[in-house]
Structure 1
């Protein structure tokens, strides 16, 4: 229900016919604001289209508006102690292992890694907002089993996450390293050092403009692909995510589950973000329940100043 595809694509077609989509940007400093403003414009247009289509479309639109929130999760609270945020990430890691989420995510990512691995060189993977690196370790293990050489750099902005990740990497002896990194500027990374940039279960922690920055920075730094994974926006997961999170027995983590599910992006919203960031339609957005996958093929951007 919360995907609102009929009204959404009609709204986008109308904006495209008026020359409003895709919005133009020239410098990286413009991209975030341009993307955020267009997403607001798109949602207003979708509301108007829903009214024209009638109650069967307007009611889901009103439910969508009531559920969507800009509230931040506890684990994103910069004023919180880093150890508390680390405990929340550990709870997420336990939940992912319990639900076999890492296996599912590896299934979705390995075809991209296998394609990149055909060059015969190690595949350099950068994971953004990696937390303590559960997915990075799972990917390294899966690649090792399939005979593909990879190097995984798991990054996060929280120092405690990076320290915990490097401790675990030392124990597991896998080609995974951790570093502190601002996901919006990739400061300190050399252009051409990346093949694949991934972000999983964290898209909803960022604004549309911030996600567009990540995609553009991945392209700027020479990556061949950007893959984002997150929960599928739906009423079922709005109830299901906090229910599963509650099994960890941490009240704040359960509340974070509800907030997160209310913030998941729809397929068309991720489609819009990728189109603005790359200036092309060389991406796909698909559902592999209970996740949405955004896969953007990248190449150097022409006509943009960095």
Structure 2
């Protein structure tokens, strides 16, 4: 006899990943839960019904909408359903709920109510793009959609320019050219990156180059489809002790403790904190 499926226990919120393109990526577990859950909360109920039709399944529970505009109101209702012993399946249009999609408020409401929350893993556009980008994946951050307005976008990217982690962004097709140009400006035109388009779909395409070349590529023609941008992290700095000392002294001049200032500067530069601390201490003493 196979082991009992813990997700079959009533009174749980189930966060379920749905296909990001190819419907065959839906797991047998997702198919079963779509049919058996007491409540299915979907970002777009019409898309949910299209997915179910493609999978040949029919939800038997109530189908409710849960999207960006009603999640705050829907969250306590869904938490109440779970607390009452019902199985609530939460899905979004594609990928994993809560990852640049609705879901966080529902999860938080259930946790605050002491209601069980678990996950039905599956497709993720961010992880799929990271995997095929060819860029380092040991440390990464999913930044979601950059700000739409040029000024806000430039400021947000400037804050990320020194981040050593590989960065994953989502972007709409009609803004991707402007965003790549802004990234080339903020991160440097020679920063390696990849444009991942229509992943798992018929016209899947991954274009790998530096940001300057990718910005020119996007400007040459119309870029269509669902897009992820993956950008390499900032290269390690060559630590100049004198420059680092100036940064430490500037921070201590603003009231930051010497130990904390050294830790912050050394971490950012990938430098030896003990050596920098000794250098700063000698400077202050002499």
TM-score by length of structure 2 reads 0.32
Flag the structure with more relative contact order, 1 or 2, with Cα contacts below 8 A and sequence separation at least 6. Answer: 1
Question: Which structure has the highest helix share of the two?
Answer: 1
Instruction: Give TM-score, length-normalised by structure 1.
Output: 0.30
